[in-house]
Chain A
């Protein structure tokens, strides 16, 4: 070798976060992609995990066909399974979610908080703005659009009416006729469902995945989290089943939400602009969303998903501040602090898993929500993990747990608080009586420039779906490629198309709600997986070199 051939001082290039500091990779002989099938049919390169891809595809097809062909027979079965889970196991969901929150809060203040995802010297791949936009858009963007108005009004209404669907003491009529008390309880209950708990669910999945991928060197796939328990068996059938379940939950969660979301967006378009009602509008919406999502995934995480998420969050912030400015500004500003306080006051009772007086609320709302968030957690968690390298555990949890929770409080206060005020002060009953897909638009209608804001709201709904669809396709592609994030591009496109196709098939053939119920039921097995993830996080962090 001549003297010019290799210059050791140039080894550490600027392009990589190298060296990443002391690492403690898990010692395994498993090579990522070793069980993959590779081929190039018709010029398309494919690189897939044979078993996970094949079985999850077959299971997906089977469920879609069954749901379409035997709708009347399978829908009650799905409902029975789901009702059984939320009724009899509500305590388990509520109990587990509390553990997730407590673990996250503990990690923020513990010395583990200093550990950096990706190694002590790893640099973040994204700016705070890009990172936060992506995790927020993937996490709950779309839900906020519909439930921001609906849920505070619903809990307020049931408490005010003394219905047995009200939260806590509201169910026994404690707040009947008490507008202020019902509003405070309604807001607290809503924030409970959109605050610390859901974000802790995402944080646990994301942190465990990020830790075992970036610090331990295992594939970015759900099965890796089980390594501390299953050891090398995680590369066999137990791991395949975990990954298949994750694909199932993610694909059906996304496809059914896309179908139902298109129904809601179409209802908005019909209400606002007299767009023709019917399947054509909805199918066009799904096709449009899928095409933009495909363009986004071809452009990649940085130029596609990140850019769309930023646009999305900027528009959402615009809408939020517009409502604050032209709505009951003072009420919203003071309400923010009052609702936060009300949340803190009611939190112990709301999160109590045992001996609840409000069975309808704790089972029908809270357990449903927890199952829902948990069934989404493989997708959202894996996506958050992928974009969070280079952050410390503390920074990660503050950004994934605390900041979004605060944003949710502000959002719910603004949209829900404004709607409750419209109902109470202005006597606008339509805002409470309308369906969930129209309540937002009726609330906006009472404010200036409603044509513009309503249009913006519909665009937001659509773009939120695009950001769910593109990041979801990336996640499914990665799981079905054995944890590879560098599998060929056509595979991503394949999953985005499958998602749109299932949404359209179920929209036309019926069964969207039924299959969504089924996909939310996966929340139960995933709750167990998440509890394992909690153990894995602690175990993983304990074996990390401690930063000085």
Chain B
């Protein structure tokens, strides 16, 4: 049913991703799908990498690590932006079409009042794409 899964990854907050990564591994194995880990980084140096190139290398290393866990084919793709915090949703929506993604699995936070003004990235991506979107909430622990 799903051939190509996109997993948005923020290497600066990898701990938040943990529950979703499990879902990704299980789903990819179940559908025998390939996975693209997508990162959106700033063109200016940030806490993860000092250049977009370095970010790409780190994301590839991350993808390989995940491949060794689930064994499904992986690729890594990085987009850089002057203002990644503001542009991340648009970039993800665009990349879904570009990469031919049919399922997006991404971590998200619990609903909060602030979402009315600043919606979650997951919620916004789901609103603007034709692909299926699986939002994984943080676990109780």
Measured CB to CB, the residues of A under 8 A from B are: 1-2, 4-7, 10-11, 13-20, 23, 25, 31-34, 43-44, 118-119, 125-126, 213-214, 217-220, 297-304, 386-387, 389, 474, 483-490
Contact = CB atoms under 8 A, between A and B. Distances in A.
Interface of B: 12, 34, 41-47, 50-53, 55-56, 60, 63-64, 67-68, 71, 73-87, 90-91, 95, 98, 112-114, 117-118
Contacts of B91: 15
A5 B67 contact: yes
26 contacts: A1-B67, A7-B75, A11-B56, A14-B98, A15-B91, A16-B56, A16-B80, A17-B80, A18-B78, A19-B53, A20-B52, A32-B47, A33-B47, A119-B51, A125-B81, A214-B44, A217-B45, A219-B44, A220-B45, A300-B83, A302-B83, A303-B87, A484-B46, A484-B47, A486-B41, A490-B118
Which of B53, B87, B117 is most buried by chain A, counting CB atoms within 10 A of its CB?
B53
Given A15-B78, A125-B81, A486-B41, 19 more contacts: A1-B68, A5-B64, A6-B63, A13-B79, A16-B56, A17-B43, A43-B113, A118-B43, A217-B50, A219-B44, A298-B118, A299-B86, A474-B83, A485-B46, A486-B42, A488-B85, A489-B85, A489-B118, A490-B114
The 9 closest A-B pairs by CB, nearest first: A300-B86, A217-B50, A15-B79, A301-B83, A33-B47, A4-B73, A300-B83, A43-B112, A16-B52
Contacts of B90: 303
Nearest to A8: B60
Given A5-B67, A32-B45, A486 B85 contact: yes
Contacts of A302: 81-83, 86-87
A370 to B, nearest CB: 29
B78 A300 contact: no
Contact of A15 (B77, B82, B86): B77
B86 A489 contact: yes
Contacts of A483: 44-45
Contacts of A484: 46-47
B106 to A, nearest CB: 17
Given A6-B64, A15-B78, A301-B82, A20 B53 contact: yes
A17 B52 contact: yes
Nearest to A387: B82
A225 to B, nearest CB: 14
A150 B103 CA distance: 61
Given A1-B64, A302-B82, A18 B52 contact: yes
Contacts of A13: 56, 77-79
A252 to B, nearest CB: 25
Contacts of A14: 98
Q: Which residue of B53, B77, B83, B117 has the most chain A CB atoms within 10 A of its CB atom?
A: B83
B112 to A, nearest CB: 4
A485 B83 contact: yes
Contacts of A10: 75, 77
B74 A6 contact: yes
Nearest to B72: A5
A516 B76 CA distance: 50
Nearest to A385: B44
A25 B55 CA distance: 14
Contacts of B44: 213-214, 219-220, 386, 389, 483, 485
A366 to B, nearest CB: 34
B45 A213 contact: yes
Given A7-B75, A220-B44, A486-B46, A16 B86 contact: no
A13 B80 CA distance: 10
Contacts of A25: 50-51
B132 to A, nearest CB: 22
